A and B are shown apart, each in its own frame.
Chain A
Amino acid sequence: MRPLHERFLAEIAAERQRLSRRRLVGGSAKLAGGGALALSLAGMPRIGRAQDDATPEAEAVQFESDVDVLNFALTLEHLENSFYRDGLPLFEDLGTDGFGFSITEQIAAIQAHEQAHVDTLTTVITDLGGTPVEEQTYNFEDAYASETAFLETAMALENTGVQAYNGAGAFIEDADLLTAAGSIVSVEARHASYLNLINDASPFPDAFDEALTADEVLEIAGPFIAS
């Protein structure tokens, strides 16, 4: 366990360092743009909690193209898809939800959506001339330890997925791709709502969701990625 765990941490550290380097490269642009933005937004109320600790400029250097953004999304969709595909068969019957639906069947539907998102993103990235990221090896051992752990991990992954898309949306240049990403994130939000509910949490805990930066997302998702 221990060496494996250390490997995850090293992976995350390397990823964070890579992102920091890119941020450093973009540093001068960040300085130049930052002042103007601060001025124009000085009088505006904070909307949700998205902008508390990151300016768009600080995030901007993380994604250099639409393909970068889509590959980031694909990384998360692969993670979710594998999680459900490999985990769901381990649990015979997850019971019935408050609406009267079979939880096992609902999660099977969620998994089918994640697979569809993987397929779509892979196709679009290829069409754009990019190289789609592939499925990785994941460490879901703890997440599969019990039904409770499985459902709680599912909840965490879906809510993180929403925050990830919300944070990445502003970096998409192409209007049609933004619309398409929007039509995926709302489904992630539906999943999150449902999984919150079956974990006895509020399906909609706040009037505004949050937007996370890519490195915040990687910090959460990183421990699940073994290679």
Chain B
Amino acid sequence: MAVRAIPAAQEVVDVSTPTGVLNYALTLEHLENAFYRDGLDEFDDADFEDAGFDASVRERLAEIGEHEQAHVDTLTEVITQLGEEDPVEEGSYLFEDAFADVQTFLATAAVFENTGVSAYQGAAQYLQENDELLTAALNIHSVEARHAAYLNGLTEVSAFPAATDTPLAPDDVVTAITPFLDTEATPVA
């Protein structure tokens, strides 16, 4: 079994409290949410068709975007309820390259979703003290995996490339998404 020990000591991301873990998740959800919102603004049905995708694909992307918005809203609300720290806010992102064309938009979406799956997997253990928060995170995690499968399929990669996915430690996830962050202006939880 791919039982991977995730190092407990984190340098950038504070996973020592539920709020820290949820703010980390919220950081990722903000990124994804902004990505779909702005990307779908950039590309209309005709752009998708020109790239060889029918309108249903753009609609699915819009559904995914709505899910990310729902995740942002829920995490923000829960963090606020916990009352320990403020929820992180949306940052400023560098999507110019990702929005070069529809194919790049979709390929980047696939990378974000697969990274999201690995991120929730790596962070779940830090919510073990709170069953309800853990279960809620798992219920988001599996939806990210559903998104990842669809986007993999669109980008001609297997929807399910292996029998197990690979968890990523929070610092590794932050490293992975840093190229998309305008770090001067973006808080990293």
List chain A positions with a Cβ less than 8 A from chain B.
Answer: 37, 41, 43-45, 47-48, 50-51, 56, 97-101, 106, 109-110, 112-113, 116-117, 120-121, 123-124, 162, 165-167, 169-170, 172-173, 175-180, 182-194, 196-197, 202-204, 206-211
Contacts and interface: CB of A to CB of B under 8 A. Distances in A.
Contacts of A43: 81
Nearest to B56: A98
B149 A203 contact: yes
Contact of B146 (A100, A170, A190): A190
A215 B78 CA distance: 29
A186 B163 contact: no
B150 to A, nearest CB: 5
Given A47-B74, A186-B142, A187-B145, A193 B159 contact: yes
B153 A208 contact: no
B158 to A, nearest CB: 7
A223 B71 CA distance: 35
Contacts of B135: 47, 50-51, 56, 166-167, 169-170, 211
B1 interface: yes
A39 to B, nearest CB: 13
5 contacts: A45-B77, A99-B156, A101-B158, A180-B3, A193-B145
B78 A44 contact: yes
A183 B164 contact: yes
Given A189-B145, A189-B146, A193-B159, A99 B154 contact: yes
Most buried by B among A50, A112, A175, A186: A186
Contacts of A166: 135, 138-139, 142
Nearest to A162: B142
A207 B66 contact: yes
Interface string B52-95: 00000000100110110011001001100100000000000000
A204 B63 CA distance: 8
Give the top 5 A-B pairs by smallest Cβ distance, nearest first: A47-B136, A189-B145, A207-B70, A116-B163, A190-B149
Contact of B143 (A47, A176, A194, A206): A206
A189 B159 contact: no
Given A178-B124, A190-B149, A183 B2 contact: yes
Contacts of B142: 162, 165-166, 185-186, 188-189, 209
Contacts of B159: 99, 106, 190, 193-194
B117 A204 contact: no
Contacts of A176: 3-5, 125
A109 B160 CA distance: 8
Contacts of A37: 132
Counting chain A CB atoms within 10 Å of each CB, which of B5, B60, B138 scores highest? B138
B188 interface: no
Nearest to A101: B153
B81 A47 contact: no
Interface centre among B60, B64, B131 (most CB of A within 10 A): B131
Interface in B116-135: 117, 120-122, 124-125, 128, 131-135
Nearest to B83: A43
B141 interface: yes
A116 B67 contact: no
Contacts of B139: 47-48, 50, 166, 208-211
A166 B131 CA distance: 11
B118 to A, nearest CB: 8
Interface string B145-189: 111111011101011101111110000000000000000000000
Contact of A99 (B125, B153, B167): B153
